A and B are shown apart, each in its own frame.
Chain A
Amino acid sequence: MSSLKEPYLELSDHPVRFEAVNQVTNVFFDDSNKQVFAVRSGGTMGVVVKGPTEDTPPINFRMEDRGPVISIKFSLDQSILAVQRTTTSVEFFIFNGNTIEGEFSQACKKNTAILGFVWIQNNEVALITDHGIELYIIIPEKKTVKHSKTTSIVIQWFVWCPKNKIAVLASSHGSQLQPAIFKPGTISKLSKVETEPGRMTLERDVTLATLYGTPAVLILRHQSGPQTAEVHVHTLNGPGQAPVKSHILRLGLSGRFAINVVDDLILVHHQASRSSQVFDIALQSESDGTVNYHKSVAPAKSLKPTSLPLPGLVEPQTHICDLYSPNWVVFQPNIVIDAKLGCLWHIKLSLTTLCAQIPDLSVCTQLALKRTNGKEVLLQLLLDHILLPKPLLYKLQESFNHINSVYRLWAEAQILMQTASPVSAPPPSKPSAPPRVLISQSDMYHYILQKLMINDDHLQNLEWALISYMTSLSEYCIPVEFSLNELLIKILVQRNKFTALVQLLQYGIVADSKPLACLLLSLGNLHPSASQLAMDMLVRLGAIEEIQEVLIDQGQLLSAFKLSQDCVSPRKFLQAAEKLGDPTLFHSMLYCFRTNHQYDKAFLKDERLHSFLQHYRMLFPEKTLSDKTT
C-alpha cells in the first residue's frame, strides 16, 4: 500500500513569507500574536509585521534606531507597540495603524535585568527580570505606565504560554521549575514542577502546551548512555492546578528534538533522522498506576517535502525547502520558522494518512474520535475495514465500543440537560461541549450500513458488522433505533436466513415495535414463523386492535371477538363471516351481535347492516319462516 509510505505531516501550502535575516535585517517572532517582525536597520528602514497567516495584510511602520532590538511585540489589540532594546527598560509607542507616536518607557527595578516581557492583556504588561515579575498598567491617554504589582523570585529564564497565560520560571539552572499563572493584576504561583532533585533543564527543552483543554508542561529529558530520550508531560490538573507528571513519551531516539502540538497530538521532530513522531496522551497505554508510558502511534515519518516558488529571470522557479534544517525554530502550537529562508509554516496533520499507518483498528478509532475532523475519516475507516474479505470482527467491536462510549456519555448529558430539576437543586453544571466526534446510530446507518446494502456481495459483511454494532450498543445500554432493526431483518430476509431471524427475534435482539410487527406479518407468507412472532410482538405491545385485525384476516372471527368485545365494528365481523361462507359461523356472529344490547341498537341505526340480515334469511329460510309463524 502506497499510503504506508506517505508522510502524514505536512507544512502549510502558503507559508508566511518575510524578509530573511541578513546584515541589516533582524527578525523577531511574537508568539502571543503569532506575528513576525522584520526590522531593517534597527527600524529606520522600516519594520514589516506579518502573520499570523499569509492572508493577513502586513503592517509597515518606521521607528528610530536607538540600538539593537532585543524584543518587539504589539499589545494584544495591536494598539501599543513595546520594544526592548536594553536589559533595563522597555519603550512603548502608541500605534494608530500606520505610524507610531507618543513614546514613553518603563525601567525595571534597580539592580535587576529584564529577561523578557509579555503582554498579559491589552493594557497590562509584565516585565520578567532576574529578580521577579513586575506588572504594569499602560495608560495610553496619559502616556504613562502605572506599577501594579511585583513578585519577587529568582529567575534564570522563563517560558511563556500566551494561551493559558502561564509562565514557567526556572532557577538553579532549571532544576527548579516554578509555574505561575497571570490574571489581571495578580500573579499566582502554582506548585513546582516535580523533577528529579538537581536535574538541570535547558530552556529549549521546556515546552508549554494545551492538551485536551488542560495546560501542560512538556520537558524533554535526554538520557545518558544507551537510553533514549523521553518527553515528560506534566499536566496542570492537580489540586489548585498543580502540575502532575502523568505521561512519559518514549522517543526511542537521542539527539536534538523539537516539539509541536497539532489537534492535541504531540509531534516530536528529530533533527538527525529528519523524522517526526506522533503521540496521543489520550490513548490507552502501559501504566504504572500514576504515569502512562506512550509510544509513537505510528512509525516515525518525515514531513512532506515542500517547495517555494521563486521568481526567475525567464520563468518562475521553485526552491525545494530543506526540511528539519538547523535554521528552523519551532513555536507553539504548530509553527515552524526558517529565518534564513524567510518562511513561517503551520504544521498540518493528514488524519487519513496517519490512520492508514496504524494497523490496529481499535487504536485508530480512539485516535480519530479525539480529532476535530475525525468523523469522516473514522466512518471511512470503518467502512473500509468492514469491506475487507476477512474483517477482524472483534477489533471492529472494540471500535464500536469506543464510539458508543462517547455516544452514551453524550446522550446521558443531553438527557440531564432536558430533565427538569427542582428549584432548590443546584443549577446544572454548564453544558459540556459536544464530543469532537459523535457517531450516532443514524450516522452509522447512513454512511456505512446503507451503503453496504446496495451490493449483494457485501451483505454477509454487513450482517457481521451490524450484529457487532448492535452488540456494542447493547453493552452500553443504548436502545437500538428502528432503522437498524429493520435493516437487520431485511438483510436476513434477503439472504434467506429465516432460521437465524427467528432465533434473533426469539432472544429479543430486535426490539418490539408496531412497524416491525407489520413487517413480520408481511413476511408471514414466506415463513410461517414470521406471523407467529409478529403476533407475539403485538401482544407485548398491547396492540389488541391490530391482533383483532389479523385474526379477522385469518378468519378466526370468534377468537378475534373474544379478545375484545368493546367497540368492535359488527360490519367488519359480519362481512368477514359472509366472505368465509360458513353458515354456522355467520349465524354465531350475527346471534352474538343481536343478543348484545350494545350492538343490537346498531342494527336499527346503520342501514348498511341490513344486508347481513337479508343474507341470514337467505342462508336460513326455514328459520325466518318459523320466526314469522310464531
Chain B
Amino acid sequence: MTANKSDIELKNFFIFNSSYDSKEGEEYNKVLYYYPPTDDINTQVNNVGLVEAIIKFTGNFKPDGPLNSLHTLKKRQLYFEPEDHYWMVMTLNLPFMNKSRNGSTYLEYVEEEVHDSIYKAVLKQAYSMYRLFSGTYSSTDQQNNVAALRSKLDHFYSAYLKTLKLSNCDILNVFSGIHFLPLDKQNFLNVQCFINALECNYPIIKNVSFLFNDSLIWSGIEPDDTQVIYQYLISTLLPANIETELQGGSIPRNPSSPFSSLHYGRFITGPSNLKTADSVGKVPKIYLNNEKDAAVYYFIVYRALNASICLFINGDVTLTVELFKELDEFMGPKLSSIASDIAEYCTRHIIPPNTSDSSPRFIYFNKLNLAYKSTVHLDHRQTGNIACNKEAVQIIADMNSKKDLLGYAGETIVKTMNDYWVVGKVSNLREFYVVLQHKNASLIDISDEVKKICDSELKGIFFHPM
C-alpha cells in the first residue's frame, strides 16, 4: 500500500433515453443530462452512442439479465435502467499508484478497490433521491415535456453530484440501511401515542416518521420510501440544520415564563420563525409510493431538542400559517418532553461502542426491515470515519456480493496479511460481519470470539447456527 494513491474520481455521469427517435446528426436529443458540462456535444454523443452499442451488443448474450458494469484498465462504467429506456450511466476513474520497476515509472490501476455493487448502489440512490422530489422521469416527460425533464434533471443532479463523496462509499451504500434506536417499550409507546394523537387531531397528516438524532424510531411510510427519506435527512437536511442551530444558538424560544412547559420546537422545513411569518413560504413536496400509486405529499420536518418528526401532509391541501402555529403549539411541549425522556433513557442504557482500536468491530444488516448497525463506522453520515482497516471493509463488500453462494445460512472467514480476520455470516435474510485483529490466532480462537460477539449482539433473534 503506497501512500500516494490517487482517489477514485467521477469521470462522467449521464442520463439518456434510448427510445427517442434519432435521426443521423440529431443523436444529442437522446441526452437528458450530462456531467461534466465541460464535455462538448460530440464527446457526449459519442459516449452515449458507445453505451447504447454496448447495451445492444451484450443484450444478444443475456437478454433477460440487467447490464451492470464495464471494466476497463483505467475506468469503470456502471449502468442502471430505472425506468424503461431511461439509462443512467456513471463512469469512474480507477485509483492508481505510481510504481517503478527497472528504473522506469508506470501507473498501476487498483481495480479491486472499486466494487460494482457499491457504485451501482450509488447510482440507484441518485435515482431514488431524484424520484423522491420530482417523481419518475417518465411522469415528468408525460406531464410536461422533455425540456422540463431536462431542466429538472439539470437542476437536481448538478447539485447532487457535488455532494457525492465517492471515496467514502462502502458497504453501507449497498445496504442503504436505517439505524433504529434501541428503545424500551414505554418510551416507544409514548412516541406512538404522540403520533396517534397528532394523526387523530390533524387528519390531513397522512403519515409520520420520528427520528432521534440520526436514528429512526418510527416510520409510518413504506420501508423503501423510508430508506430514501432517511438518507436525505441524515446526510443532507439534518446536518445542514444542526450547523445553523450551532451558529444561531438553540436557546428556547419561550423563556418568558419558567412555569410554562418547556418548548424547544421549531420547523426545519416550513416557516422558520412563526412569530414573524406572514406566509407559509416554500414547503417541499415529495413523491411517495412511486412503485405502485405515486402520490404527492408536503414534507414538513419539525425538531425539538434531538427529536425530529416528519409530517407527510396530503399534497392537495392549502397550508396556512395558522396551521403551522397550531401544529407548533400542539407538538412543541409534547415533543420536547418525549425527546428529553428518550435522551435520559439513552444516557442510562446505551453504552457507547468501545473505541479502542483493537476491539472487534461488526456490521449487521437485516434485509427485511432494512435495519443496520455498525461499530465499524463511527457515525451514520458516511464521512469515511471508520474504526478499522479500510481493507477489511472492502472484504466485507466482497463477501456481501458473493453471499448468494452461501444460500439460506452460512459463514465465510478471511484472514488478511496484516492479521485481520473478517468473518461474514448470513442467516434468515440477515447479514453479520465481524472484523477482528489478532496476532497468531487460530481458526478456533476466532470462531469462539465470533460466537461470543454473536451471543451478545444477536440475542433474541433467530440467527443460524445458534
Contacts and interface: CB of A to CB of B under 8 A. Distances in A.
Contact of A475 (B186, B192, B368): B186
Contact of B200 (A464, A540, A547): A464
A306 interface: no
A393 B330 CA distance: 13
Contact of B189 (A464, A471, A499, A529): A471
Contact of B186 (A474, A499, A539): A474
Please list the 4 inter-chain residue pairs (A to B) with the smallest Cβ-Cβ separation, ordered nearest first.
Answer: A535-B462, A471-B189, A393-B197, A507-B188
A386 B253 CA distance: 35
A467 B196 contact: yes
A529 B183 contact: no
A271 B464 CA distance: 80
A540 B188 contact: no
Given A474-B186, A532-B368, A538-B462, A500 B220 contact: yes
A463 B464 CA distance: 35
Nearest to B181: A507
Given A509-B185, A539-B466, A528 B197 contact: no
Contacts of B188: 507, 509
Nearest to B407: A556
B409 interface: yes
A57 interface: no
A435 interface: no
A536 interface: yes
Contacts of A227: none
A464 to B, nearest CB: 5
Interface in A584-612: none
User: Mostly helix, strand, loop or mixed at chain A's interface?
Assistant: helix
Contacts of A556: 408-409
Interface in A217-237: none
A278 interface: no
B236 interface: no
A547 B428 CA distance: 12
Nearest to B430: A532
Most buried by B among A471, A474, A540: A471
5 contacts: A464-B196, A503-B218, A509-B188, A538-B462, A562-B465
Interface in A530-554: 532, 535-536, 538-540, 547, 554
B148 interface: no
B180 interface: yes
A102 to B, nearest CB: 73
B201 interface: yes
A485 to B, nearest CB: 13
B293 interface: no
B368 to A, nearest CB: 4
Nearest to A502: B369
Which of the four size classes fits the interface of chain A? 35 or more
B429 A394 contact: no
A506 B193 CA distance: 17
A506 B369 contact: yes
Contact of A390 (B201, B222, B429, B464): B201
A499 B221 contact: yes
Interface in A502-521: 502-504, 506-509
Interface of B: 180, 183, 185-186, 188-190, 192-193, 196-197, 200-201, 203, 218-223, 226, 366, 368-369, 371, 408-409, 428-430, 460-462, 464-466
A509 B462 contact: no
B2 to A, nearest CB: 45
Given A532-B368, A535-B462, A539-B461, 6 more contacts: A397-B193, A499-B223, A500-B220, A509-B192, A528-B368, A536-B460
Contacts of A467: 189, 192-193, 196
A583 interface: no
User: Mostly helix, strand, loop or mixed at chain B's interface?
Assistant: mixed
B288 to A, nearest CB: 12
A394 B197 contact: yes
Contacts of A529: 368-369
Contacts of A562: 464-465
A509 B222 CA distance: 20
A409 interface: no
Nearest to A547: B462
Contacts of A356: none
Contacts of A321: none
A393 B183 contact: no
A391 interface: yes
Contacts of B366: 532
A390 B223 contact: no
A563 interface: yes
A391 B200 contact: yes
A540 B461 CA distance: 7
A554 B408 CA distance: 10
Contacts of A506: 180, 369, 371
Contacts of B460: 536, 539-540
A475 B223 CA distance: 29
Contact of A471 (B193, B430, B464): B193
A390 B466 contact: no
Contact of B429 (A509, A532, A539): A532
B289 to A, nearest CB: 12
A539 B463 CA distance: 9
A509 B185 CA distance: 6
A90 interface: no
Contact of B428 (A471, A475, A535): A535
B189 A470 contact: yes
A15 to B, nearest CB: 48
A559 interface: yes
Contacts of A538: 462
B371 to A, nearest CB: 8
Contacts of B203: 390
B466 A563 contact: yes
B192 A471 contact: yes
Nearest to B203: A390
Nearest to B334: A394
Contacts of B193: 393-394, 397, 467-468, 471
A515 B188 CA distance: 24
B241 to A, nearest CB: 25
A534 to B, nearest CB: 9
A539 B188 CA distance: 23
Contacts of B466: 539, 563
B157 to A, nearest CB: 30
A197 B466 CA distance: 80
Contacts of A391: 200
A150 B221 CA distance: 82
Interface string A481-510: 000000000000000000110111011110
Most buried by A among B192, B222, B408, B429: B192
Nearest to B463: A539
Nearest to A475: B186
A532 B189 contact: no
Contacts of A463: 196
Contacts of A394: 193, 197
Given A499-B219, A528-B429, A393 B465 contact: no
A499 B183 contact: no
Nearest to B465: A562
Interface in A36-56: none
Most buried by A among B189, B218, B408: B189
Nearest to A554: B408
Given A509-B185, A509-B189, A528-B368, A539 B196 contact: no
A500 B222 CA distance: 9
Contacts of A471: 186, 189-190, 192-193
Contacts of B368: 502, 528-529, 532
B185 A468 contact: no
A223 B262 CA distance: 41
A506 B369 CA distance: 9
A503 B207 CA distance: 15
B185 A508 contact: yes
Interface string A54-66: 0000000000000
Nearest to B183: A507
